Amino acid sequence: SIDIRDEFHRAVHILQTAGIEAETHIRMDAERMMPIVQNVLGMCLRECITNVVKHSGAGKCSIQLLEDKERYLLLTCDNGIGIAKGQNQTRKWGAGLLGMKERLSLIGGTLELASDVENRTKVKITIPHHRT
Protein backbone atom coordinates (compact mmCIF):
# COMPACT_ATOMS: atom_id res chain seq x y z
CA SER A 1 0.00 0.00 0.00
CA ILE A 2 0.97 3.63 -0.47
CA ASP A 3 2.93 5.51 2.18
CA ILE A 4 1.92 9.14 1.84
CA ARG A 5 5.37 10.37 2.88
CA ASP A 6 7.08 8.31 0.17
CA GLU A 7 4.54 9.61 -2.31
CA PHE A 8 5.23 13.16 -1.21
CA HIS A 9 9.00 12.77 -1.73
CA ARG A 10 8.33 11.17 -5.11
CA ALA A 11 6.15 14.12 -6.13
CA VAL A 12 8.89 16.59 -5.22
CA HIS A 13 11.41 14.56 -7.20
CA ILE A 14 9.14 14.42 -10.26
CA LEU A 15 8.66 18.20 -10.19
CA GLN A 16 12.38 18.84 -9.82
CA THR A 17 13.19 16.44 -12.63
CA ALA A 18 10.78 18.40 -14.84
CA GLY A 19 12.57 21.64 -13.92
CA ILE A 20 9.71 22.86 -11.73
CA GLU A 21 10.67 24.39 -8.42
CA ALA A 22 8.84 22.64 -5.58
CA GLU A 23 7.73 24.45 -2.47
CA THR A 24 6.46 22.16 0.25
CA HIS A 25 4.74 22.31 3.57
CA ILE A 26 3.72 19.30 5.65
CA ARG A 27 1.78 19.51 8.85
CA MET A 28 0.16 16.12 9.03
CA ASP A 29 0.46 13.07 11.28
CA ALA A 30 0.99 10.37 8.65
CA GLU A 31 1.52 7.72 11.35
CA ARG A 32 -2.13 7.91 12.31
CA MET A 33 -3.53 8.08 8.81
CA MET A 34 -5.54 5.02 7.79
CA PRO A 35 -4.10 3.01 4.86
CA ILE A 36 -7.16 3.67 2.69
CA VAL A 37 -6.70 7.41 3.19
CA GLN A 38 -2.97 7.18 2.42
CA ASN A 39 -3.83 5.28 -0.74
CA VAL A 40 -6.41 7.75 -2.01
CA LEU A 41 -4.41 10.81 -1.01
CA GLY A 42 -1.25 9.38 -2.55
CA MET A 43 -3.04 8.62 -5.79
CA CYS A 44 -4.45 12.16 -5.86
CA LEU A 45 -1.06 13.70 -5.20
CA ARG A 46 0.46 11.67 -8.03
CA GLU A 47 -2.26 12.68 -10.49
CA CYS A 48 -2.12 16.37 -9.50
CA ILE A 49 1.63 16.49 -9.96
CA THR A 50 1.41 14.60 -13.25
CA ASN A 51 -1.08 17.22 -14.44
CA VAL A 52 1.22 20.04 -13.41
CA VAL A 53 4.09 18.48 -15.35
CA LYS A 54 1.97 17.57 -18.40
CA HIS A 55 -0.30 20.58 -18.76
CA SER A 56 0.71 23.63 -16.74
CA GLY A 57 4.05 24.83 -18.09
CA ALA A 58 4.65 26.12 -14.56
CA GLY A 59 8.02 27.10 -13.17
CA LYS A 60 6.90 26.61 -9.60
CA CYS A 61 4.50 24.37 -7.76
CA SER A 62 3.63 24.27 -4.10
CA ILE A 63 2.37 21.20 -2.28
CA GLN A 64 0.81 21.41 1.15
CA LEU A 65 -0.28 18.45 3.26
CA LEU A 66 -2.19 19.66 6.27
CA GLU A 67 -4.71 18.46 8.79
CA ASP A 68 -7.08 20.01 11.25
CA LYS A 69 -9.50 18.45 13.72
CA GLU A 70 -11.95 17.40 11.04
CA ARG A 71 -9.99 16.62 7.92
CA TYR A 72 -6.86 16.07 5.90
CA LEU A 73 -6.08 18.65 3.28
CA LEU A 74 -3.94 18.46 0.14
CA LEU A 75 -3.35 21.76 -1.62
CA THR A 76 -1.38 22.18 -4.80
CA CYS A 77 -0.80 25.44 -6.60
CA ASP A 78 1.16 25.98 -9.80
CA ASN A 79 2.02 29.18 -11.65
CA GLY A 80 1.39 27.83 -15.15
CA ILE A 81 -1.10 28.58 -17.90
CA GLY A 82 -4.17 28.06 -15.74
CA ILE A 83 -7.34 26.18 -16.45
CA ALA A 84 -9.72 27.73 -18.96
CA LYS A 85 -12.98 28.86 -17.38
CA GLY A 86 -15.06 26.16 -19.02
CA GLN A 87 -12.66 23.53 -17.77
CA ASN A 88 -13.84 23.98 -14.22
CA GLN A 89 -16.97 22.06 -15.18
CA THR A 90 -17.04 18.38 -14.48
CA ARG A 91 -17.94 17.39 -18.04
CA LYS A 92 -14.66 18.84 -19.34
CA TRP A 93 -12.67 16.83 -16.90
CA GLY A 94 -10.59 13.93 -18.12
CA ALA A 95 -10.03 10.51 -16.62
CA GLY A 96 -7.46 11.86 -14.18
CA LEU A 97 -9.68 14.43 -12.48
CA LEU A 98 -12.77 12.24 -12.63
CA GLY A 99 -10.86 9.27 -11.22
CA MET A 100 -9.68 11.33 -8.27
CA LYS A 101 -13.20 12.58 -7.62
CA GLU A 102 -14.60 9.08 -7.77
CA ARG A 103 -12.10 7.59 -5.33
CA LEU A 104 -12.41 10.56 -3.01
CA SER A 105 -16.19 10.20 -2.92
CA LEU A 106 -15.80 6.65 -1.58
CA ILE A 107 -14.25 8.04 1.62
CA GLY A 108 -16.24 11.28 1.83
CA GLY A 109 -13.54 13.39 0.22
CA THR A 110 -13.89 16.33 -2.17
CA LEU A 111 -11.86 17.95 -4.92
CA GLU A 112 -12.04 21.58 -5.98
CA LEU A 113 -10.21 23.00 -8.96
CA ALA A 114 -9.74 26.68 -9.64
CA SER A 115 -7.59 29.15 -11.51
CA ASP A 116 -7.17 32.67 -10.19
CA VAL A 117 -6.56 35.92 -12.06
CA GLU A 118 -2.84 35.27 -12.20
CA ASN A 119 -3.49 31.91 -13.87
CA ARG A 120 -2.38 29.90 -10.91
CA THR A 121 -4.09 26.54 -10.92
CA LYS A 122 -5.10 25.43 -7.48
CA VAL A 123 -6.35 22.03 -6.47
CA LYS A 124 -7.87 21.55 -3.04
CA ILE A 125 -8.57 18.05 -1.79
CA THR A 126 -10.17 17.35 1.55
CA ILE A 127 -10.71 14.01 3.29
CA PRO A 128 -12.51 13.73 6.61
CA HIS A 129 -10.74 11.86 9.39
CA HIS A 130 -11.80 8.26 9.61
CA ARG A 131 -11.94 6.96 13.11
CA THR A 132 -12.29 3.39 14.21
Question: Residues in the site for ligand ATP, rule: CB under 6 A?
Answer: 51-52, 54-56, 78, 80-81, 83, 87, 93-97, 121
CB of 108 to Mg ion, least distance (A): 23
Nearer to ligand ATP, 52 or 127 (CB): 52
The β-bridge relationship of strands 121-128 and 21-27 is unpaired
CB of 34 to Mg ion, least distance (A): 25
Q: Does residue 39 touch Mg ion according to CB under 5 A?
A: no
CB of 28 to Mg ion, least distance (A): 24
Q: Closest Cα partner for 42 from 87, 85, 93, 3? A: 3
- Cα–Cα dist 104/128, whole Å: 10
- State the binding partner of 40 from ligand ATP, Mg ion, none, CB within 5 to 8 A by kind: none
Applying CB under 5 A, the site for Mg ion has a residue count of: 2
Residues linked to residue 125 through DSSP beta bridges, in sequence order: 74, 111
Nearer to ligand ATP, 55 or 124 (CB): 55
Q: Given the rule CB under 5 A, which residues bind Mg ion?
A: 51, 96
